[in-house]
Amino acid sequence: MSLRGAFGWETAVSLMSNRYVLQLRRAARAAGVPRMLGRFTRDYESPFSKQLMLACRQGDVVWDVGANVGLYTASFADWVGPSGKVFAFEPDAMNLPRLRSACGERPNVEIRPFGLSDRTERRTFLGDGGDGTTSRVLQPGESVPKGAVEVELLTGDDAIQGGKAELPDIIKVDVEGHELSVLKGLQGALANKRLRNVFVEVHFGILDCSGRADDPKRIEEILKRSGFKLSWTDASHIFAARPA
């Protein structure tokens, strides 16, 4: 049972945004714990990664939104096979060399060096220096730290209409607090019956600290309105499936 299922929504939000939990998570990511685990297993976010694997079919088109350094991108490419395709969206230029390296010579991966959002524009972005930890789009009014840069953002629907990506069968979203904006820019794709599954990592701590604690509920509402049945694989991952 997930943390949310065991304790309820408000308790889950409170626990995930607890400052000690956030400090521990930041320290683990800064130390490269997820990356080290990823070298030994593709299941370090189990059962989330297991659900991703089970959802993929040969020939699928998968969107890896927030591909980072390619941990999931390479796995997706293997799971969908040579007849499938993976579009990896990553706006952080510092992460692109490692993303390309992770994907190797896989011909079924197409890297898109821009992010997704609720509008097509340029936004301020704080990268992680290419170490594969945390990078994110800054919110309007947020102070701009040293090292922040401007990046290109498109709506997912614009990416499809502009020929920069194909309509997906599966979407994975991991964008460090920008997940609601990504989904808002995908209204057309979400309404298309071809899209079977949407996987979203919800960053409770970032959302709570930036005054957007209601975003998780709004994410659920968008997915439900689009015809998906939702479940939480753990305390921070949504698995949305379109009923057959």
pLDDT tens string 119-137: 887 767 666 544 444 666 6
Mean pLDDT score across all residues of the chain: 82
For residue range 142-179, what is the model confidence (pLDDT) as tens digits?
665 666 667 788 999 999 999 999 999 999 999 988 89
Q: Are 119 and 155 in contact (CB under 8 A)?
A: yes
Task: Give the ranges where the chain is alpha helix by DSSP (H).
Answer: 3-7, 9-16, 19-30, 33-40, 48-55, 71-80, 96-103, 156-161, 179-184, 187-191, 204-209, 215-225
How far apart are alpha carbons 151 and 161 in whole angstroms? 20
Token pair 């794709």 is found at: 189
How far apart are alpha carbons 80 and 110 in whole angstroms? 13
Structurally, how many domains does the chain consist of?
1
pLDDT at 44: 46
pTM for the full predicted model? 0.78
**Between these two residues, 147 and 50, which has the higher pLDDT value?**
50
pLDDT at 143: 63
For residue range 65-114, what is the model confidence (pLDDT) as tens digits?
999 999 899 999 999 999 999 999 998 888 899 999 999 989 999 999 99
How far apart are alpha carbons 62 and 189 in whole angstroms? 12
pLDDT at 13 over 70: no
pLDDT at 150: 72
Residue range of the domain that includes 206: 3-241
63: nearest Cα among 233, 231, 153, 182: 182
Q: Are 95 and 132 in contact (CB under 8 A)?
A: yes
CATH at residue 179: 3.40.50.150
